[in-house]
Amino acid sequence: MSVFKKLCIGPTNCFLIPDNKGYLLIDTGWPGRYCHFLNILKRIHINISEINLILLTHHHYDHIGNLNQIVLHSQARVMIHSQEVQYLKNRTKATLKGTNFTGKLLSKFLSKFHSPPQPFELRKQDIILTESVFPLHHLGIEGIVLHTPGHTLGSISLIFEGKFAFVGDTIMNLPFTSPLPLFAEDLKLLFKSWERILSYNPQTIYPAHGNSITASKLYSKLKNIS
Ligand SMILES: [Zn+2]
């Protein structure tokens, strides 16, 4: 079994997933933390040039911070869903729709004080997904990418080795709201995406905020909703 690594870049969990030559990086963390990111890599004895691919689960600023520097120094390709591309390029402000009282309060606060980080121009080697299922075997990774809309319309998740689901903000494990994310552009789509993730029978689910959760916790929450 391959070993993946969790990196906390600010309040965002990013992950390094092994491929056959180096690593796939899931998300690039809170803006302005590039030095912190490098320090973590150093501590775990990974060189930035070993990152071959960066999967952006979605466009929110706490997931695409440090993207420009990481791409510049790793020369990694970037993978993102087509429905998120405009936000990378134009620095369009994200609309955050709160799913509960805390989310609604926070959405006002965050929209007011946070602007997106540097724009990023996708290059011809980058991968823009339009498919609902995208296998990664041809890139040397034992996994598949699923389109899991709801938190944002172009959110994507990775099922790795058939056992581990890396889901960005499609699921959040925060006090009081877990596993519901604080924000969702479309709740109906979000619950469909949960069903989709569960249909792959993952053992463990890794959200970008909070600790991992079991598939059974997600399943019971879904049962209560429907
Ligand atoms: Zn988000």
pLDDT of 224: 84
Please give the Cα distance from 48 to 115 (Å, whole number).
27
- CA distances (Å), origin 62, targets 49, 132, 169: 23, 24, 10
| Ligand 1 center–CA 195 separation, angstroms | 19
Pull the structure tokens for residue 40.
Answer: 């973590």
pLDDT per residue as tens digits for the range 66-86:
999 999 999 999 999 999 998
DSSP 124-169: TTSEEE-SSEEE-GGGT-SEEEEE--SSSTT-EEEEETTTEEEEET
Q: How far is the CA of 78 from the centre of ligand 1 (A)?
A: 18
Distance 51 CA to ligand 1 centre (A): 23
CATH for 5-225 is: 3.60.15.10
Q: What is the pLDDT of residues 184-218, one digit of tens each?
A: 999 999 999 999 999 999 999 999 999 999 999 99
CA of 168 to the centre of ligand 1 (A): 7
